[in-house]
Chains A and B, each alone.
Chain A
Amino acid sequence: GQQVMQIPQYQHVQEGEDFTTYCNSSTTLSNIQWYKQRPGGHPVFLIQLVKSGEVKKQKRLTFQFGEAKKNSSLHITATQTTDVGTYFCAGVRGSQGNLIFGKGTKLSVKP
């Protein structure tokens, strides 16, 4: 079945260091969405990428969608303690609309 793989599973960084999480799908996606989930919380929408090769920025966060629309990445520059949480990518295939989540990357930031 369709899978969305996400690596790494965990990432521990010192405050100020950069962080990247990668997402890869076994099939072409119509779009990919990124969510952040704080401990004890629920997924909060960050961004949606639709176009092949698309790059979007939100302050210190940079999101990329691969040319083949099968992979994506989230890069955080100069991490802060407020960035702590689990980052999920979620792919959408065709017109179905349901999200297929990766297992997430849990980010911890040491002050």
Chain B
Amino acid sequence: DAGVTQSPTHLIKTRGQQVTLRCSPKSGHDTVSWYQQALGQGPQFIFQYYEEEERQRGNFPDRFSGHQFPNYSSELNVNALLLGDSALYLCASSRKLAGGLNQETQYFGPGTRLLVL
């Protein structure tokens, strides 16, 4: 039973470029959440996808967008990269309970370390 996987593991970009990060959820999970973790900080919620739609969003600009595919995998896109976007980007998967409310524990992938120069 594969856990949450993310690709790539590391990425170096320059300011102004665009980046796409990928996530495959744990088997049996249908919900994907993305978090940004700056060095020395706790993860910050970016957004959550369920049934191929963005369901919740944290305090991140529109430069951050995402997508969920029918197989529940997800992408995070960041446009016009800034130096401050350098961080560990974490994907977490979970499974909605009956009624679509609340969800079980979130399981994190290994993350993608993005460095913007």
A interface with B by C-beta (< 8 Å): 1, 6, 30, 33, 35, 41-45, 48, 88, 90, 95-104
Contacts and interface: CB of A to CB of B under 8 A. Distances in A.
B48 interface: yes
B42 A88 contact: yes
Given A97-B94, A103-B41, A103-B42, A48 B105 contact: yes
B43 A101 contact: yes
A65 B41 CA distance: 23
Contacts of A90: 42-43
B106 interface: yes
A65 B24 CA distance: 32
Contacts of A88: 42-43
A90 to B, nearest CB: 8
Nearest to A9: B40
Contacts of A45: 105-108
Given A88-B42, A96-B56, A98-B56, A43 B102 contact: no
A100 B92 CA distance: 13
Contacts of B74: none
Between B43, B44, B48, the greatest number of chain A beta carbons within 10 A of the residue's beta carbon is seen for B43
A102 B37 CA distance: 12
Contacts of A35: 108
B106 A100 contact: no
Given A99-B45, A104-B42, 15 more contacts: A42-B109, A42-B111, A45-B106, A48-B105, A90-B43, A95-B101, A95-B102, A97-B33, A97-B56, A98-B45, A98-B56, A98-B58, A99-B106, A101-B43, A103-B42
